[in-house]
Structure 1
């Protein structure tokens, strides 16, 4: 087992990056589609995640803030696993209630290669947080309360990977870390997936496509490592659990088996799956009714929660 005595990446921003010039109102409805928050704008506005009375007030800033909550979760998970430290105070302030992060510590990886992968993904997720915060400026939401301890145990129990009285420590070893990462990664891809060609504003289209591409790279990396380790049944169990949370439609796939790999989960047309905000919330809340529990015990910050 490799002993990582020094943190693989300790660089911290001296200050927030300058706000990116982007028109949050341009192409509002099509940008919603590009983030994969609904099959179409009408589907998004009918989502249970937004109260009907507030539906017409949803803006692109609300969509970016929804994404920012999810990026906070991923960044805190990967940073703590790879370096033992999370985001800095200047990276998590904002509107709404600032919450703590419970759980999480540096993983003692068996393989330097996997440690490197974790470190690289952590850098990417931190950059996503910084970029979205720069886009949002003063309306960026604060990091909500995040649970990286009990939530993983609840997820593992739901998947049948832990008994009803057993705990699952996502940071105990390399395999546990990879399975925990698998819980998030495919959700990120499906949340961002949407009709990017329909976006009228080229800047909006570029940001949506860019983040989606990076999340897809991450998901493919995790799936490939899990496949190489032969963790087929464990990955399938997690996939089944996600599918049971997001509703009756089949939007999830495992990594295959020893005879046939399934590293790229796609539909019959060869396209990545897409989830609505309600479906995403059900998974991260670990609750099919969308009630805040799980990884966000007090819910998300922002309108879509």
Structure 2
């Protein structure tokens, strides 16, 4: 991984990662074969639930919020699917209203640990299911997948966070440790986005659906945080977390800072919550400022042509 995020390019704590870690006991067998089969056959569509039984048919606030969420789910799904060698286009889930874009970057990660590969497969299944579910809820009002940049965006963020210097690059698909750090960028954002939008959802069925997705995203976030703590990557994670907090503060100054992983005497802060023990909440503007990397100056980062839909 010559100019990727490697030992000499990272903060000292990450440079001392113990690659023998506890996952050696997982062996080479992969229990994710069934999940992969379900992905390729499209067999992971969620069952009939209250929110999927009735689609959003009018352009109301609920539809706007779900389309905002769908854009973010497109991003997460492409990240995880490409890490295991698939795409949303391959699952025929990219069309809709607005301008359908293209996705650059992303490739299958050369996983060394069977356990981390299974984590990636599991989360990929969930994100694919989220995209399919929200598109079902929105019906013909679902927005198309926008243009997504998975090629240079991570380098921009890594440099801004101080993880690498000018001229170095960060490819989250180059190895499993870089993959986990890349994944950590999305997961906490997803949780805070759903938590922040909850108060504006008017239909209780859709609120219930959003709460269900939020819970799954929170599970993902806690898992990624724990995996990074296991390999001693807390300092690198905290740099990413601090950058997210700074981008959020550009929109809404003050308030509590996003919780870092490393806290005195405990390296396992697997949940990002406030002083009341509640998940952090972000406005749509705060979320956009993170995924846009602060705005036009960064080329809108992950979404070069912005999101599709009313909230963009």
Match of 1:99 among 85, 101, 120: 101
Match of 1:259 among 240, 265, 275: 265
Report how far residue 288 of structure 1 moved.
Answer: 5.4
2:278 corresponds to 1:271:
yes
What's 2:5 paired with? none
Q: Secondary structure at the match of 2:166?
A: coil
Taking structure 2 as the reference length, the TM-score comes to 0.79
**In structure 1, how many angstroms separate the alpha carbons of the residues matched to 2:277 and 2:270?**
13
What's 1:282 paired with? 289
Match of 2:52 among 6, 13, 20: 20
What's 1:33 paired with? none
Match of 2:302 among 288, 292, 295: 295
Residues 256 and 263, structure 1, Cα contact 8 Å, conserved in 2: no
Q: How does 1:32-43 map to 2 (within 5 A)?
A: none
Residues 28 and 114, structure 2, Cα contact 8 Å, conserved in 1: no
What's 1:85 paired with? 86
What's 1:48 paired with? none
Please identify runs of 4+ aligned residues in structure 1 that moved more than 2 A. Answer: 1-5, 10-26, 194-202, 248-251, 288-292
Relative to 1, partners in 2 of residues 1:194 and 1:295: Cα closer, same or farther, differing over 3 Å? closer
Relative to 1, partners in 2 of residues 1:106 and 1:275: Cα closer, same or farther, differing over 3 Å? same
Report how far residue 205 of structure 1 moved.
Answer: 2.7
**In structure 2, how many angstroms separate the alpha carbons of the residues matched to 1:59 and 1:132?**
15
Q: How does 1:34-183 map to 2 (within 5 A)?
A: 59-82=61-84, 84-88=85-89, 90-183=92-185
What's 2:22 paired with? none
Q: Deviations over 1:106-164 (max 9, x none)?
A: 11112100100010000000000000000111111100011111000001001111111
Report how far residue 16 of structure 1 moved.
Answer: 11
What's 2:15 paired with? none
Taking structure 1 as the reference length, the TM-score comes to 0.81
Relative to 1, partners in 2 of residues 1:195 and 1:303: Cα closer, same or farther, differing over 3 Å? closer
Give unpaired runs (5+ residues) of structure 2: 1-18, 20-26
Residues 63 and 138, structure 2, Cα contact 8 Å, conserved in 1: yes
**In structure 2, how many angstroms separate the alpha carbons of the residues matched to 1:4 and 1:272?**
35
What's 1:44 paired with? none
Q: Deviations over 1:263-295 (max 9, x none)?
A: 112111111110000000000011157986111
Residues 80 and 123, structure 2, Cα contact 8 Å, conserved in 1: yes
Over the aligned positions, Cα root-mean-square deviation in angstroms equals 2.9
